[in-house]
Amino acid sequence: MNISSIDVLSKIFKNPEDDLALFENLHVLEFYADEKDRVYVKTLEHNGKDKVVLTDKKTAPEEIVRQLFLYELLNVYKYPKDRVKLEVDVQFGREIGKKRADVVVYREDMKTPYLMVEVKKPDVKDGLGQLKSYANATGAPILVLTDGKIQNNLLRTDPNLFEDLPDLPKFNETVEDVQKKIITYDDLDDVNNLKQLILDLENAVLANAGVNPFEEIFKLIYAKLYDELETPRSQNRRFRVIAGITNKENLNNISRLFNEAKGQWRDVFKDKDEIEIPENAIVPAVSLLQKYRLFGSNLQVIDDAFEYLINQDAKGGKGQYFTPRFVIDMCVKMMRPKKNENIVDTAAGSCGFLLHSMQHVWRNEITEADYGSSFESKRKEYADQHLYAIDFDPRSVKIGKAMMLIAGDGKTNVSYANSLDSSLWDTESKARFSKFLHRFDDFDLNKKNEEAMTDFDFDVVMTNPPFAGEVKGTLLNKYDLGFKFDKDFERTNKHQNKMTRDVLFIERNLDFLRAGGRMAIVLPQGVFNNTNQEYIRRYIMKRARLLAVVGLHGNSFKPHTGTKTSVLFLQKWRDDEERKKAGNYPIFMATSEKPGKNNSGDYVYAMDENNNIKKDENGSYVYDTDLDDVANKFIEFAKKHNFDFI
């Protein structure tokens, strides 16, 4: 009995379209069931046997991947059916039959392997070493590892050296034909799993190269971004492996590209920075990335990869963690940034708040319907003129700038600086932010502010400052909260001995806001609950109206920390008269019960009626969280109470 391919695939895969993203047509396979309800796939192998792929006890997703890949070999790459064999014994010394290659394409003599394929079920990536051992045992020059989502094509150039091929040679094509093909911008593929590519770079290429993987990967990423941005789209990519030249010459080619990228983004790298990847590793490293396009990529894909790179040890040790994107989306929805408003994140990390604010404004105010053919230039203009970020971690700045470049237009306003101490800002950072300085009526105050750069007029601040770490010394003198407060919650002239950074960030962010400006800030729960921090709460209420407090679930920042956090939403008072007139006012309060993560810190996704992961209009997965519902309830509350920004 024949069975619908849709029915079979949906029972074997959580989300067939995602799990088998490599294959354009998922309906080329035929299925049938026997009298015991075992489901078979009709094999495409010449004289091969049909395979069981589904029973009431088990599934065989890797067999589906294998048959779909076999279809590609036969129909796209045009290899003769009698040259292709499945489950071929591989001989290791005297041992025969202990290991089997999933797919082998033979040369004309039908004895010499030309191409070998190792197939895994989706998200299993442990086959690369096994595949290389097959190549060493058989001499096959071309290797393929695929899981249905990602395909790695490797060329064995030496017993222990492999480089990536941008594509497989078709029947009667040579490897040289593939390597010499011009790669234009339009030929580049979307990157579906950048995190896995980075893992491959770390494990297969840079693990034994004696270099810092983070630094070298980002040098390659910026060189690639520069190539995508500056090389005319119809011309051959400069970020590629050039066939027929030495490893050293390929290294020199990529180094020249990186040096040009340094000139474009001077505040990301130092003048002395150079690519330190060894000559024998540069070709496989570049070949892994060269066929993919970073600009315009799905931000969730890029985000996952960059969050992996800034791991707990590098970033979390400072009490600073990437903010889950569903928390950011809630903040953006509640703060409602507008196209003419200036936004800053003073502890920007990967610039998530800015990116999602940009997408919000693009989606709601700068559309093709609004601006016709000029809407894209208007979007770039908005990103260039209204989005600003600061971070004191150079690794975060590299990531934040890359995220803004990938999502925007090649320009970025991300500064490497200490938000808490503007006296240390470099000339470029001061110039970037000087146009947002608050203008006092008093000449002396204005002059002092121009020198100290303390008070600004940003419309919106959204941020997740670092929780850990304490500030001591003279810097505390610049902050009201650096002094002790008396029992009436008035500031005294006695200095605090130390203060946690998150508390100082509250005051600093209020200073960044114009009168009437809005702020969303993630804070540890203690700021809201601890009796010994009541003076902080009083200080906040004196300077701003409390719009909302949203308690986040304890899983929100796992696996990095289980610290309980809340998001505080404020609107800065315009003057004392407005504050006094407000009197006792209502505050929106909510607590999240669906965190979008499990107890281990893994993301949990929402499922549709077919038990597939839901996607939004941008193709990103939808998280299983209630924060969007919280945001909608806040909007109802804000409209009821006539908030002026809703």
Concatenate the DSSP letters of all residues of 26-92 into one string.
Answer: TTS--EEE-TT--EEE---STTPPPEEEE-SS-B-HHHHHHHHHHHHHHHTS---GGGEEEEEEEEE
Phi and psi at 629, nearest 5°, equal -65, -40
d(CA 642, CA 635): 10
pLDDT at 311: 58
**Residue 189 CB-density burial (10 A; 0-12 exposed, 13-18 middle, 19+ buried):** exposed
The per-residue b/e assignment along 613-624, b for 16 or more CB within 10 angstroms, e otherwise, is bebeeeeebbbb
pLDDT tens-digit map of 506-539:
999 999 999 999 999 999 988 888 888 999 999 9
State both tokens at 519: 């702020």
- In the three-class reduction of DSSP (H, G, I as helix; E, B as strand; rest coil), residue 300 is classed as helix
pLDDT at 400: 85
Residue 493, H or E segment: strand 491-495
pLDDT at 315 over 60: no
pLDDT tens-digit map of 435-457:
999 999 999 999 999 999 999 99
Phi and psi at 158, nearest 5°, equal -160, 160
Contact by Cβ (8 Å): 507, 539: yes
pLDDT at 97 over 60: no
Q: Write the CA distances from 507 to 89, 249, 293, 424, 513, integer angstroms.
A: 69, 53, 41, 18, 10
pLDDT tens-digit map of 320-337:
567 888 999 999 999 999
pLDDT at 319: 46
- In sequence order, the 6+-apart residues with CB closer than 8 A to the CB of 256 are none
Verify cis geometry, omega within 30 degrees of 0, for the bond prior to 559.
yes
Looking at the DSSP bridge assignments, the partners of residue 382 are none
Residue 257, H or E segment: helix 247-264
The mean per-residue pLDDT over the stretch 370-388 comes to 92
Q: What is the DSSP string of 233-256?
A: TTSPPSSSPPTTS-HHHHHHHHHH
d(CA 611, CA 335): 33
Q: What is the pLDDT confidence band of residue 559, given thresholds at 50, 70 and 90?
A: confident
pLDDT at 313: 39
The alpha-carbon radius of gyration of the chain (Å, integer) is 28
Domains (range + CATH), the chain:
1-148 (no CATH), 182-295 (no CATH), 299-640 (3.40.50.150)
pLDDT at 194 over 90: no
pLDDT at 126: 62
pLDDT tens-digit map of 250-282:
999 999 999 999 988 887 888 899 999 998 888
> Residue 414's closest CA among 470, 343, 468?
343
The mean per-residue pLDDT over the stretch 345-362 comes to 92
Q: What is the pLDDT confidence band of residue 244, given thresholds at 50, 70 and 90?
A: confident
The mean per-residue pLDDT over the stretch 361-374 comes to 94
Looking at the DSSP bridge assignments, the partners of residue 550 are 567, 590
Contact by Cβ (8 Å): 384, 410: no
Contact by Cβ (8 Å): 591, 550: yes
d(CA 410, CA 261): 11
- In Å, the largest CA–CA distance within the chain is 93
pLDDT tens-digit map of 134-150:
888 888 999 998 888 87
Amino acid present at 294:
L
Residue ranges in 279-367 assigned as alpha helix (H): 279-289, 299-309, 325-335, 352-364
The mean per-residue pLDDT over the stretch 380-409 comes to 86
pLDDT at 135: 84
pLDDT at 235 over 60: yes
pLDDT at 124: 54
Q: What is the pLDDT confidence band of residue 95, given thresholds at 50, 70 and 90?
A: low
pLDDT tens-digit map of 1-41:
778 888 899 899 888 887 888 888 888 999 999 998 999 99
Contact by Cβ (8 Å): 593, 626: yes
pLDDT at 312: 39
User: Tokens 């950048």 — which residue?
Assistant: 194
